[in-house]
Amino acid sequence: MTDRLVVDNNVFEIQWHWQKNNNLPALIFLHEGLGCVQMWKTFPERLAKETGCNAFVFSRLGYGRSGTCSLPWKTNFMHTQALTVLPKVLAKAGIQDYILIGHSDGGSIALIFAGSPHAAGISGVITEAAHVFCEPVTLASIQAARHAYLTGTLKEKLVRYHGKNTDTAFWGWNDAWLHPKFVHWNITKYLCRIQVPVLAVQGKDDPYGTPQQLTAIKTGVQDCETQHIKNCGHVPHHEQPDLVLARMAAFIKKHLQ
């Protein structure tokens, strides 16, 4: 079951997975560029049970069952999500102690937030397939997604999750990434400002990014672990769920001690 959180008159779709020990940091799940609450499936609940932490999942505006937003999105839309929207969502939800878990765009948002002055209360960051700069392989895959949306079955698949938000979610993400200025997008300056442990994972077969993304995160963050996962593409928590669950849980438990 999902619930609603109203922030500045905007409705966000949210989901809590409550555990018994409320003294632990909450796990905050930040979805990918075409994701939403429902697309995480059972993974947040499983990780919450494994760690004893409450889990909070939400859909950004224009996604899932959240309210809509206007198009086009600016090329700094991930900065806006990290520096303006996320702090307000956390405050309205009453979350003061937390670990961010971000997938793809959500991972980039998590890194920007963690390297900003808003990060009071954060105790760790986990990213999956995060980007910290723009690569040709990423743009090629996003262009392929555009073709699949216009001529294939991608739109039909996304409608099941996003309903009336489907076009907003897709074109907001796709047009921003394919904007000519996006080739200059780079968030590496935030990495050295992160003061908490980071775990960065990526599939070895990820069509949206090369291992240079992991290398940049490892190099830039003071306390960082990385894992490059075999037989895995862009969605490690679905493609290698048991391995990813165990790796994330171990990281979280290690830093809760």
- 112: number of Cβ within 10 Å: 27
Q: Using an 8 Å Cβ cutoff, are 33 and 63 in contact?
A: no
Mean pLDDT (the chain, rounded):
97
All domains of the chain, ordered by start, with CATH? 3-256 (3.40.50.1820)
Residue 127, beta-bridge partner list:
102, 200
Residue 20 confidence (pLDDT): 86
The span from the CA of 47 to the CA of 244, in Å, is: 10
Tokens 């200025």, residue located: 181
Convert the pLDDT of each residue in 106-143 to its tens digit. 999 999 999 999 999 999 999 999 999 999 999 999 99
Q: Left (φ > 0), alpha (ψ -120 to 50) or beta: where does 43 sit?
A: alpha
Residue 21 confidence (pLDDT): 72
Can the peptide bond before residue 72 be classed as cis, meaning omega within 30 degrees of 0? yes
Residue 134 confidence (pLDDT): 98
The span from the CA of 257 to the CA of 245, in Å, is: 19
Q: What is the pTM of this model?
A: 0.97
The span from the CA of 147 to the CA of 175, in Å, is: 13
What's the number of CA atoms in the CB half-sphere (13 Å) around residue 160?
Answer: 6
In sequence order, which residues have a C-beta less than 8 Å from that of residue 23 and are 6 or more positions away?
none
Convert the pLDDT of each residue in 156-209 to its tens digit. 999 999 999 999 999 999 999 999 999 999 999 999 999 999 999 999 999 999
Tokens of 80: 């806006």
Q: Left (φ > 0), alpha (ψ -120 to 50) or beta: where does 21 sit?
A: beta
